[in-house]
Amino acid sequence: MRKILHIDINSFYASVECLLDESLNGLPVAVSGAVSERHGVVLAKNGIAKALGVKTGMTVYEAKKLVPNIVIKETHYPLYIKYSKAVKLIFKEYTDYVESFGIDEAWLDITNCRRYGGDAYKIADEIRVRVKDEIGLTVSIGVSFNKVFAKLGSDLKKPDAISVISYENFKDIVYKLPVENLLYVGRATKKKLNNLTIKSIGDLANFSEKVLVQHLGKWGAILHSYALGKDTSEVKKYSVKDEYKSVGNSLTFYRDLDNEIDVETLILLLAESVCSRMVDYGYKYARTVSLVTTNDVLVSKVRMKKLKHPSNLSSDVADCAMELFKENYDWSNKVRGLGVSVSDFTNKEQLAIDEDVKDKNKKENLEHTVENLRKKFGRSSINRAIVLREKKFEELDIRDSHSLSSLNKNDK
């Protein structure tokens, strides 16, 4: 029987901020985007703020109205990445099989770890104590015989806790949980399952696999097997590059966007920052582009599309993202925020049938030259003409102030 841990760093962004500023201890704290530019949106909150009703996705204005004494901290992504890596270095002392699931979560396969005679709970507890004592953060850990149930376990008790879901007890623990607690069951999938009268994981386990496949395709069979405890997916061996399954940036502009030119401008800036980061992380080309749109009533939608050919050019990424926008956004509301990300990386170059090699090389050389100039003289030292239309666009430093690089957790 395998021994799998899922470890979740509690309230990660907010915990790092509190760790660096002791005056925040005992206060409600939330982390948001750039408040100076806009009201901002709550990206994370500590346990105190959560207990008072603050939720991720709230505007800072709403959070302050609900909790007047809340302390708002703007994001410091380089610091979060630094602490994430420090925690994962501890994990690596127990196993080479450490698979990240975002900046603040990871699976560990400790089947072959011989500490405490291979006792998974004792190993998990030692890791929990070490992260707290050596780094100052707390974690919640799920211990189980597969990845899906380990993930469920880490969500059962928070903060600073361990939950065990074994082969013997999983039905008693798991089957009564809401079906949306199961990994990869997001809002869209939950709605489909609820329409089939499936409310709990137990309902899913006892439901007809054939009917599930009819309504959800092959994904229905996969979710059914997860509910039955039959997840056999392996924990991947640790790799620094595997920290970044997608690279993306997002931004809430200081005002709502009401026309395609403004949207195109922001998408271009986001695409440039994303491609710059992608190259820094050692990836040559991406094959998929994702676009997140958030309207002025805080409804977000994610759409993705394959590039015509693998690329590292911001112009290709921006064109693809703009196509996604035009195909999916109906302008019933203004645009509050946008996010662009790339994924499905490859080191193999593949030209389109009608693509001119010399022209492609010229574009790559131009973008690389521009990037080198920006690194030397600052991000705003050279800009596209479209960016110069408005001072606020020209002043944006998206790459360094709003970068996000982590595993995707999209609803499938």
Distance set, CA 248 to CA 111, 134, 226, 269, 273 (Å): 34, 31, 29, 12, 8
Q: What is the 3-state secondary structure (H, E, C) of the chain?
A: CCCEEEEEECCHHHHHHHHHCHHHCCCCEEEECCCCCCCCEEEEECHHHHHCCCCCCCEHHHHHHHCCCCEEEECCHHHHHHHHHHHHHHHHCCCCCEEECCCCEEEEECCCCCHHHHCHHHHHHHHHHHHHHHHCCCEEEEEECCHHHHHHHHHHCCCCEEEEECCCCHHHHHCCCEHHHCCCCCHHHHHHHHHCCCCEHHHHHCCCHHHHHHHHCHHHHHHHHHHCCCCCCCCCCCCCHHHCCEEEEEEEEEEEECCHHHHHHHHHHHHHHHHHHHHHCCCCEEEEEEEEEEECCCCEEEEEEEEEEEECCHHHHHHHHHHHHHHHCCCCCCEEEEEEEEEEEECCCCCCCCCCHHHHHHHHHHHHHHHHHHHHHCHHHCCCHHHHHCHHHHHCCHHHHCEEEECCCCCC
> Exposed/middle/buried for 160, CB within 10 Å: 0-12, 13-18, 19+?
middle
Catalytic residues: 105
Bond preceding residue 178 cis, omega within 30 of 0: no
Size of the chain in residues: 412
Q: Which long-range contacts (CB under 8 A, 24 or more apart) does 161-169 make?
A: 162/121, 162/124, 162/125, 162/128, 164/120, 164/121, 167/1, 167/229
